[in-house]
Structure 1
Amino acid sequence: MTAQALHVYEILKKTLPEEDAMTVVEYLEDATEAKIVRQVENKIEHLASKADLSEVKADLIKWMFIFIVGQTAVLAALAAGIVKLLH
C-alpha cells in the first residue's frame, strides 16, 4: 500500500468499517494501476519495431544513393562545361 493509499484508508476508516475502507482503497489502487498500464501500452504502440527501422534504413540508403548519383552527374556536367569554356 502506498503512502497516499494509506492516507486515504485512514480517512475512510473514520466513516466506514475497516473492511469497506480497505475495499475502496484496493479498488482505487487497481484502477490507478490499470490506468498506468493502459498509458504504457498506448505509448508502446507508437514505438518503432526492428522491422520498421530496417525498412526506414533501406529507404534512406536508397535515397542517399540516388542523391549521390545525381550530385555526381551535376558536378560532372559542370566540370565538362568549365573545361569546354576554357578551351
Structure 2
Amino acid sequence: MTTPLDPIRRRFDGSIDFDRYRADIHAARHQAMQDASKLGAAMKVAAAIAVMLVAIALAPPSESPDASCQTCTKAGRVTASQNAFAIPRLF
C-alpha cells in the first residue's frame, strides 16, 4: 500500500506499521551498544599498552651502577650487615 512518495511505512489495511519502526530502532540501539562495547575494549587495550610503554621507558637500564643487583654480584651474596631490611636474630 506504500507508494514511492509516501515515506511512512503502512500495513496492507493502510494503518501505520509502528512495530516495524520499533524493530528498526531496537536494531539500531543494539548495534550502537555493541559498537560502544568494542570501542571500550579497544580503549582498555590501548591504555594497557601505553602504560607498559611508559613503564619500559622509565625503567632504569640494567647496566647502570645504581642497579640493586650490583651489590649482590660483588660479594656473591648479601650479608645481614649489608642488608638494611634484615631481621635481627634474637637467639
Give the TM-score normalised by structure 1: 0.48
Larger RCO: Structure 1 or Structure 2 (Cα < 8 Å, ≥ 6 residues apart)? 1
Give the TM-score normalised by structure 2: 0.46
